[in-house]
Each structure stands twice: as structure tokens, then as C-alpha cells.
Amino acid sequence: MTTDKYTTETITDVRPWTDSLFSFRTTRDRGYRFVPGQFARIGVRDPHTDETVWRAYSIASASYDEHLEFFSVVVPGGAFTSRLSRLREGDPILVERRSYGFLTTDRFESGRDLWMLATGTGLAPFLSILHEFETWERYENLVLVQSVRTQSELAYEELIGSFDKSEYYAAFAQKLRYVRIVTREPVPGALRDRVTKLLASGVLEENVGLKLDHDRSRIMLCGNPEMVEDSRKLLTGRGFRVSRRGDPGHLAVENYW
């Protein structure tokens, strides 16, 4: 069924990353518009009660893709995500016609380096932003920090590492600095401390090879709400300002749950 508020789409692909992390794709209504970094509201019907439960999910796919892609964790004891994780190709899923959220690069003016700091599934909006050509054209450097607990949770690592092999992005690919943080086991080449600690100590900047600077840096935070809050405090303590409507600053944030 399709209404003024939502359309009924179909799951076209499900990709498990670990026992509790998976991505899925759906068909996309031709009229569905979003700005990379925004989230969709998706609805899943409970077959027993026939009730629909809605949740917000950041869109991981590009604005020009014909499909929509989402990245999810199975929340232990969570009815919605466990139901979602059981969906298979061909199953229906509802997508609200409106897209939401302000984790978008149009919140910023000027700036030369775009820093994208993600924990867990908070990576999703940055994948969409990274697939926007304008992002690569507009910034001199793109810094993507992905923090996960274990190596197996480094979802999309291959895709992120393959921009230089892409026909479309190869010319820009040297702009990307990809930092992996794996907090609960040693992984060669990855950092081990939490992103907040790495920010506070200056080790993140050292590792990236760029300084956080009011003129140059525009910073986006997405993921664990405590990480977002603690990083926001750290950065506002260093004089970075959160962007507001009509008042562009240095920071854009999204709590992932």
C-alpha cells in the first residue's frame, strides 16, 4: 500500500557483516529525495499484530543510486531490529516520503578539510556523503574515522579503500584519509583508543597528518550518543561551534539512537 505519508518498497538484498551487523537494500520510489547525510524513517509490519513500527535509519547509499541502502545493528532484546534482521529479499518495507536530519555538508560554509567521525553504524551517513561528487570537489581533504569494537565490525572497509580504483572517484581519491579504530582487539594499522581520547590527546590529528583548525576544519559526528556528546564538548571547548539554521559553524552532529 502507498499513501501520502509513505511508499511500500521491497527488500532487494541483505548483507550480513557479523552476527549482529547487517546492511540491506530496498527499492526506491522515483520521487524519493534526500541530501546525503540525512535519514529515512522506515516501517516494518508485525505479522502478528499487523501494527507497523517505525524507526529512523541513516541512508548509506548515494543520492543518485536507484536503491536505498541502510546499515543496522541487531539490538539485543530489540523487537524492531530483530524483526528487521529476519527480513529477506522480496519482503515489503515502508519508507516515509520525507527525509530528515541536518548531518549534511550544506550546514557548513567554506572550510577545506571535512572530518567525519563515526562509531558503529554511525558510519552510514558518511558513506552517502562520500559518494557525492560535490564532497570531493569542495574539500581538499576528507577524513573518515571509523571506530568499532572488533576487526570483524569494520564493515565497508573494502569499499572505503577502493575509491582509488573507481572510474569515477580515482582522480580525487588521494584526498581521503581513512582512519580505523578497533577498540577491543589489536589490529595492525588501526588505532586502539576511543576517538574521544584520541581527539583530546592530539593523537588523532597526528595520525591523520592534519590539525583541527577553525578556518580549515568542518567536523561531523555520528554514532554512539555518548561519543557524540563527549566529542562535541571537547570540540566546543576548543572553540568549534555547532552549525545552526542560518548560522553556519564548524560542527554537525547526529545521535544514532
| Sites of contact with ligand NAP (CB under 6 A) | 73, 75-76, 119-121, 147-149, 181, 183-184, 194-196, 224, 226-227, 230, 256-257
Distance CA 83, CA 144 (A): 31
Least CB distance to ligand NAP at residue 2 (A): 26
Least CB distance to ligand NAP at residue 106 (A): 25
Residue nearest to ligand NAP (CB): 120
Amino acid letter, residue 89: E
**156 closest CA partner among 131, 192, 193, 189:** 131
CB nearer to ligand NAP: give 34 or 39: 39
Distance CA 155, CA 22 (A): 9
Distance CA 135, CA 198 (A): 25
Total residues found in the chain within this entry: 257
CB nearer to ligand NAP: give 35 or 118: 118
Distance CA 122, CA 257 (A): 9
Contact 145, 195 (CB under 8 A): yes
Distance CA 20, CA 5 (A): 30
CB nearer to ligand NAP: give 45 or 197: 197
Question: Which helix (H) or strand (E) covers residue 236, if one does?
Answer: helix 225-237
Least CB distance to ligand NAP at residue 7 (A): 23
CB nearer to ligand NAP: give 97 or 149: 149
C-alpha R_g of the chain: 18
Distance CA 125, CA 256 (A): 10
Question: Which helix (H) or strand (E) covers residue 8, if one does?
Answer: strand 6-16
CB nearer to ligand NAP: give 9 or 230: 230
Least CB distance to ligand NAP at residue 94 (A): 17
Least CB distance to ligand NAP at residue 19 (A): 11
CB nearer to ligand NAP: give 107 or 194: 194
Least CB distance to ligand NAP at residue 172 (A): 28
Least CB distance to ligand NAP at residue 10 (A): 23
Per DSSP, the residues of 26-75 read EE--TT----TT-EEEEEEE-TTT--EEEEEEE--S-TT-SEEEEEEE--
Residue 128: how many CA atoms within 13 Å on its side-chain side? Answer: 29
